[in-house]
Amino acid sequence: MFNLMANCCNWLKRWREPVRKVTLIMVGLDNAGKTATVRGIQGESPEDVAPTVGFSKIDLKQGRFEITIFDLGGGKRIRNIWRNYYAESYGVIFVVDSSDIERMEETKQAMIEVLNSPKISGKPVLVLANKQDREGALSEADVIESLSLEKLVNEHKCLCQIEPCSAIMGCGKKIDKSIKKGLLWLLQIIAKDFDALNERIQRDTTEQKAYEEQKKLERAERVRRIREERYFVCNSFSITSSLL
């Protein structure tokens, strides 16, 4: 009877918890398996995935969370778009191709750039050591060493969890258990510090919108000046031509 009452109380407590809307970003080098991972989470087949150009977005529910995940392209030419999503992100999912040993240093530098951002430092980071199904893939310990992961996350005060996984091994309810475990860990960490994170994100997004609006006004002013200069030059040429 006591256990039944306790279970009912726990259920009632969870039911009364507010729905929390969170945004996560999924980053990593091109061909790391980000899109396959996010499609598997969504319940779609993770096979035959084309490279992401720019970004894609999915929305899903997990318990009392309404989650938006931005899958951001990892090519060198488009990684600079990542920073546009830092302010609104409650946490980071960094996908690593653990079988691509030659690009580990590039992966490390990309991770350093992400965590160096003031809008990311201090937020939880889930590292998915993907492609464990491939021969020669680095183990969890080797990925940690190759990325200097412990040192890096400590420097930036980021709680971190690493999960060796294979994104192509299943989807939906049959998704790799390590991916599911990692995502649940990330949400639990966010839930524990939700109010502080939410306040920080509201502040950062407001600042970013103000910055973007200022840049927009500056661009408009530059365009206006260029048009005025062209108009002046054209009119001067017309006047000179008429005098001749």
**91 has binding-site annotation:** no
DSSP per residue, 170-196: --GGGS-HHHHHHHHHHHHHHHHTHHH
Kindly list the domain boundaries of the chain, sorted by start residue.
Answer: 19-192, 194-244
Give the pLDDT score at 46.
61
State the pLDDT at residue 4. Answer: 47
DSSP code at position 33: S
Q: Determine the Cα–Cα distance for residues 99 and 140; give it in Å rounded to an integer.
A: 12
Residue 31 assigned ligand-binding role: yes
Rounded to an integer, what distance in angstroms lies between the CA atom of residue 136 and that of residue 229?
A: 62
State yes or no: 10 annotated in a binding site. Answer: no
Is 37 within any annotated ligand binding site?
Answer: no
The CATH homologous superfamily of the domain defined by 19-192: P-loop containing nucleotide triphosphate hydrolases (3.40.50.300)
Q: What is the pLDDT along the chain (244 residues), one digit of tens a residue?
A: 445 444 544 444 554 568 899 999 999 999 999 999 988 888 776 665 656 666 889 999 988 899 999 999 999 989 999 999 999 999 999 999 999 999 999 999 999 999 999 999 999 999 999 999 999 999 999 999 999 999 999 999 999 999 999 998 877 777 889 999 999 999 999 999 999 999 999 999 999 888 878 878 888 888 888 877 776 666 665 665 565 5
Query: Given the DSSP bridges, would you call strands 160-164 and 125-130 parallel, antiparallel or unpaired?
Result: parallel
219 token code pair:
């661009």
Q: Residue 161 is encoded by which pair of tokens? A: 């969890």
Q: Is 30 annotated as a binding residue?
A: yes
Q: Please report which residue ranges of the chain form alpha helices under DSSP H.
A: 2-16, 34-42, 104-116, 140-147, 149-155, 177-192, 194-243
Contact 182, 126 (CB under 8 A): yes
